[in-house]
Structure 1
């Protein structure tokens, strides 16, 4: 009899859990919005939640499975969301109706770097964006080229020695040496040689492995957003402690005061001195918003600037070299442009010279089309929103999901989408294409603030590398990838291997 009661109790608990984890699953069906059938607990994210498939490709498959729909009803875990398939609606959400979609709607623990500019709520983002935008003006970027040249020359000397001993290399770590030096110098004023064996370099390389890792805390917060308030964080304590230490180190070196470097840390120290920062007044009759500058807020910004400048650029550059190795005619066209521009500027890699690398820009954008950083663009409705061109209303608090990589592979906008073709980004082809089908940096007011920096550092790396080396595939260069599903940025398991051959 006792066994029967225990079994009955277990069945009751299982049934109650089933009801709990499927409680929202009639939401889109009741509103006649088509979409894939959800799975209890996981919604439509089981493959990514179990780390079988990268989240970007989960959303891409849903996009492809409903080719005739403008919007698709999906569930991120138990949360109803609306996947947007129509570029006109994307343009509305990200640009025309932006004031209703400022918030990304991802709440992480603010004491553990959750209030960084990427994930911050609307109020915090507005103030930080206003303060940070001047860092990426043409004048500031021009000054950064000198620092980038200094740092990259050290890496190039190491690379030339390395290639003499072993021509075949896995390129991600090599590219990471460049970007680690760039962001350390340009944002934090650290003069590092990433190729040296030092305690600082070893600590950075260790922490780089954890920068954009995906823990299952992400799914837990999706299920129960309130958990972030109780200390649950997607960022491990080790990562938080490292960036607290980095900020403390740079602050101490500058005696807690801004210097004349006018870099990212100077801006943070200025904000810290002010204690509070006032945003612009947005509405008549309402006071301007005030943001308190805490140590946690400063550490969060240091983290996101480093992660964006190091990880995403190293990954993009690795994919770029991969496609150049497989497409030697494109590589030689780019190498010829680099030679012509550098000859014109007396062999000096200056800001003006980098701006003239227009074909390099096309190769960069085509790389990002095929290998978009991250998975989807998320926006939360601040008020009920009648989706243009549909009968669907996105209720206040629900999330619009824009699967950027799915747009990038849609043959409707990109004929022969698997082909690597930089001329898709010639001025005439760009002019003919809908502006909302290429979204690696997002579009609209909340696009990626560091996009100009990323373009600059990658142009400089390409100019340095292709003026001295050709890249060639080897028998170990894979044509098909299996991706690391435990990282926000989709990078192949086993890396990207190729041979670097010195040019005459």
Structure 2
């Protein structure tokens, strides 16, 4: 008898599920906010959830759908969010009204690496940010420069030996060996004796980044669920890797600062204090106990950010130089002149003062901003300036750097690689929020100066000895890898590295 009722039960269940997964889809229509039509269950992220496209690319596409709108109403799974297009509103969110949007809304299990500086919110973030900012001052970076320099020399020696065997390289993986050595040495005091050591570790860390995880989508569907259930967005093997790294270094240093003044020394100094406090961002004193989980979380975020973002940026930079030989020639001329003026040496000031090199770097990040999208969470109801739209408490606000960086309103011929966009006069003509690869305001990237310095040093050393050319396998229409949680080249980037004939 039950067989006759089965189709009815299935139909009722299907209708119930359809209603459940579309129950919020009138949220923005009821508020007269335009946006793309959502899909059942996926909202506006179907291509991202199915790993067909990187989420940064999906956000850029939605940005481009509504060129006349200041904000767009979208759905991450079933959760209503807002994508901001107007740069004046961006400025309010990131800078002027930062106290309303100080949280990123990316929290997860504290024991599962969630207490790191990037993902943490509230008092945890405030306290950590206040304490870790001093490690990235100009003075500290100058003290670390010799370690970067040593890593760059070792890298160039490796490239020279490999060039005797072949000219074509997968440049992204190659550059990762350099950034892994610099972040390992400058942050953790760990050195690698051979390239094979680096490649073994790279395989582990790269697997962490590239393996798809759907914990983030779960958090989109049910905001706040991950911390409540003590769930992490990373598998346990990740936590184990960084726990072992931290424990090894702590043991080597007998639990005390070593005098290297690196990242781990700062962590050990804080641990000796038991707990740290900060009232820098307000009158209320906040405290944080420096537990093993806190130490591992910081090690994780500094390690991943320190090696991956710089390697990817340099890979894109070298790609554009290979495709634009006139720009490469101009940059090589500047590098040669700067090195000659410094008696054949590359110093901290040499790297900082090369104007064209810095413009090439800036233009690379305009075309290939690595972290997409930028995300903030409203901690109270907030009326968006210049609109009738009220953002309710706990609503996620998103900003698409790729959308802005490729918008012809701000950059003429935006798909062309043109470092002259960053002449001082040109920069002065643009809205201050038209360029945000590192974010803006108090939650900008804390390590941006470190990443910039290690990248510019490596490019300087590389171009002082080699030229970059397209190979027969160079893809002139690069796609973005959909599986990685940051922007990166799908299938890597293959280039020829050719020893320069005009240098010894």
User: CA contact under 8 A between 1:357 and 1:459: conserved in structure 2?
Assistant: no
Corresponding residue for residue 270 of structure 1? 269
Consecutive unaligned residues of structure 1, counting only runs of 5 or more, are: none
Corresponding residue for residue 102 of structure 1? 102
Distance 1:133 1:213 in 2: 31
User: CA contact under 8 A between 1:151 and 1:193: conserved in structure 2?
Assistant: no
Which of 214, 238, 246 is residue 216 of structure 1 equivalent to?
Answer: 214
Q: Deviations over 1:51-73 (max 9, x none)?
A: 11111111111111111110111
RMSD: 1.4
User: CA contact under 8 A between 1:48 and 1:54: conserved in structure 2?
Assistant: yes
Corresponding residue for residue 40 of structure 1? 40
SS of 2:496's equivalent in the other structure is strand
User: CA contact under 8 A between 2:107 and 2:226: conserved in structure 1?
Assistant: no
1:380 aligns with 2:359: no
Corresponding residue for residue 481 of structure 2? 484
Corresponding residue for residue 62 of structure 1? 62
User: CA contact under 8 A between 2:100 and 2:378: conserved in structure 1?
Assistant: yes
Corresponding residue for residue 6 of structure 2? 6
State which drifts further: 162-171 or 226-235: 226-235
Q: CA deviation at 1:213?
A: 4.3
Corresponding residue for residue 307 of structure 1? 304
User: CA contact under 8 A between 1:43 and 1:76: conserved in structure 2?
Assistant: yes
Q: Note closer, same or farther for the CA distance 1:212–1:434 as it changes in structure 2 (3 Å cut).
A: farther
Which of 407, 414, 417 is residue 410 of structure 1 equivalent to?
Answer: 407
Distance 2:231 2:441 in 1: 31
User: CA contact under 8 A between 1:214 and 1:234: conserved in structure 2?
Assistant: no
Corresponding residue for residue 173 of structure 1? 173
Distance 2:280 2:156 in 1: 48
User: CA contact under 8 A between 2:126 and 2:281: conserved in structure 1?
Assistant: no
Which of 375, 387, 390 is residue 390 of structure 1 equivalent to?
Answer: 387
Corresponding residue for residue 498 of structure 1? 495
State which drifts further: 290-299 or 9-18: 9-18
Corresponding residue for residue 426 of structure 2? 429
Distance 2:475 2:396 in 1: 37
Which of 349, 352, 358 is residue 349 of structure 2 equivalent to?
Answer: 352
Q: CA deviation at 1:281?
A: 5.6
Q: Deviations over 1:258-285 (max 9, x none)?
A: 121111001111111212110126555x
Q: Deviations over 1:141-200 (max 9, x none)?
A: 0111100111222221111010111101110111001100100000001122451x34x7
Corresponding residue for residue 289 of structure 1? 286
User: CA contact under 8 A between 1:186 and 1:263: conserved in structure 2?
Assistant: yes
Q: Note closer, same or farther for the CA distance 1:283–1:486 as it changes in structure 2 (3 Å cut).
A: closer
Matches within 5 A, 1:67-86: 67-86=67-86
SS of 1:330's equivalent in the other structure is helix
Distance 2:52 2:468 in 1: 32
Distance 2:176 2:193 in 1: 12
Distance 1:338 1:252 in 2: 42
SS of 2:490's equivalent in the other structure is coil
Q: CA deviation at 1:122?
A: 2.1
1:473 aligns with 2:480: no
Q: CA deviation at 1:120?
A: 0.4
Corresponding residue for residue 252 of structure 1? 251
User: CA contact under 8 A between 1:281 and 1:289: conserved in structure 2?
Assistant: no
Distance 1:352 1:194 in 2: 30
Q: Deviations over 1:190-214 (max 9, x none)?
A: 122451x34x752343223323644
> How many residue pairs were aligned?
500
SS of 2:364's equivalent in the other structure is helix
Q: CA deviation at 1:492?
A: 2.5
Corresponding residue for residue 314 of structure 2? 317
Corresponding residue for residue 328 of structure 1? 325
Distance 1:231 1:289 in 2: 22
Corresponding residue for residue 238 of structure 1? 237
User: CA contact under 8 A between 1:369 and 1:440: conserved in structure 2?
Assistant: yes
User: CA contact under 8 A between 2:100 and 2:380: conserved in structure 1?
Assistant: yes
Q: TM-score, normalised by structure 2?
A: 0.97
Distance 1:131 1:283 in 2: 15
Distance 1:166 1:330 in 2: 25
Distance 1:334 1:243 in 2: 39
Q: TM-score, normalised by structure 1?
A: 0.97
User: CA contact under 8 A between 1:154 and 1:193: conserved in structure 2?
Assistant: no
1:261 aligns with 2:260: yes
State which drifts further: 471-480 or 227-236: 227-236
Q: CA deviation at 1:464?
A: 0.7
Distance 1:451 1:492 in 2: 21
